[in-house]
Each structure stands twice: as C-alpha cells, then as structure tokens.
Amino acid sequence: MDTAGYVQLITSLLNTFYTTAQFPQQVRLQKPEETQIRTFSVATGALIVWRTFIVGSRILTFVLFASMFSSWLFVVVGFHYSLMFSLVFYQLRLTENVGLLSRMIYNVVTPFVYIFDFCVNWLAGPTRYWYVMVYVPMYCENLVMSALGLWYAFTKPSPGWLLPGCVSVVIMFPLGVLVQAAYYRYWHPNVALKVKTQTRGDLDEPDTALHRRSRQTTQLRNVRWSTFRDEVFIANHPQSML
C-alpha cells in the first residue's frame, strides 16, 4: 500500500471514530439546551476517546483474526450478529407505535452496527444493561480471537506486528470502558444538570451527612434488571402513566 492509501485508511478510521462519538451529541440537539453536549467540551473529548478505543479494538481484532484464519471471521461475525439480532428483537418488544416495516428494517440493520459498538439506540430511557449485553459478548470474542492470535504468533511463523496487535486489542477495550464510566460519572449532561439543581438546593438545606451523600448521586446507579426494564418500558409508554 502506498502513502496515499495509508492516508486514506487513517482518515477513514478517524472519521468512523468521530461519527460514532458524535451520534449522542446529535441526538441531544432535540432536547433542552441544558442537556445538550457542547462541541468543544470534556464530554465530547471523552466520547471520542471512548468510541475510538471500543471501535478501534474491534476493527483491529477483526483485521488480525482475518489475517490468520481468513474466512473463519465470517463465523465470528455471524455469531455476534445472531446475538445482537435477538437483543434488538427483545428491545422492540418494549416499545410501541412502531410500524411492522420499521421494525423489520431496524431489526435487520441495527445488529450490523452492534457488531462494532452500541452507538444507536431505538429506545428511550436508561441504557446501562444494553451496554452490558453488547459489550460483554464483544469483549469475550476479542479475548478469544486475541488468544488465538497469540497462539499463532508463538507456534507459527508470523509478522512482528501480530503480538503487539493482539496485546493492544486486550488493553484497548477495557480502557474504552473506563473512559465510558468516567463520562457517565463526571461529564454526562444529566450529571451537570443534577449538580446545578442540587447547588440551588444547598442554599436552603442544611449540610447534613445524608445531604452530602445525595449530592454525590450521579448517573452510575446500582439498578436491578427488573427496575431497569420497568424504567425503559415506562419511558417508551408514556401514556401508561396517565
């Protein structure tokens, strides 16, 4: 590959990382200004770093695995697609007012996106368990493919970049999850909104231990699956609360 080819490859990857990071920002343009994500902000930077590590590790492990085992990559992709197809099918059962054609298109297309990252979400409401259901199988697949790559590197003649590439795959994904956790803990728009609201309340409320703990409440909450499912259902069936 010549220099122009490498430049084109790098710019394409950067564009992919930036696009996946910008999707949440674009969605929030439809919401009140105080819940939007500023273009030049720590939150935007965290989103870009988070998506870069997740999508980048996924692309890298596919490239490395395909270079060693060729067509077996389609087996991995097909397996992951079937898992994500089941997930999306279940998600669509929690919403309403979606036509049959829209459901079919979304159920077929969205799992392809989830092969690389959970960056498109049809449902309103919380997303914690959706991330878990997408990221856990994804990282397990990355570990298996990287382990096979390491085995290949130590047992057969292989290029020098294979070993560091496999190690990078193992490290990049958890780093992306750590940045994601930091984003939801410190820089998510809802966190900033809660801080502003609680700051106003601090003027009228005593500084008790209970109140200090309440000020530390963030997006990272321990929620059971049943509670999470109910919150998603209510968010997508607002008339049920009337």
Q: 17 with 52: CB under 8 angstroms?
A: yes
- pTM here? 0.81
For 157, the 3-state DSSP assignment is: coil
Q: 183 with 49: CB under 8 angstroms?
A: no
Instruction: Dig out the tokens for 152 from the structure.
Output: 């290949």
Torsion of CA 160, 164, 169, 172, to 10 degrees: -150
Cα-based angle 92, 137, 187 (whole degrees, multiple of 5): 75
Residue 211 has pLDDT above 50, yes or no: no
CA-based nearest residue to 35, from 204, 230, 233, 219: 219
pLDDT tens readout for residues 157-189: 878 888 899 999 999 999 999 999 999 888 877
Residue 216 has pLDDT above 60, yes or no: no
Residue with the bigger pLDDT between 204 and 174: it is: 174
DSSP secondary-structure letter at 205?
Answer: S
pLDDT tens readout for residues 112-167: 999 999 988 878 888 899 999 999 999 999 999 999 999 988 888 878 888 899 99
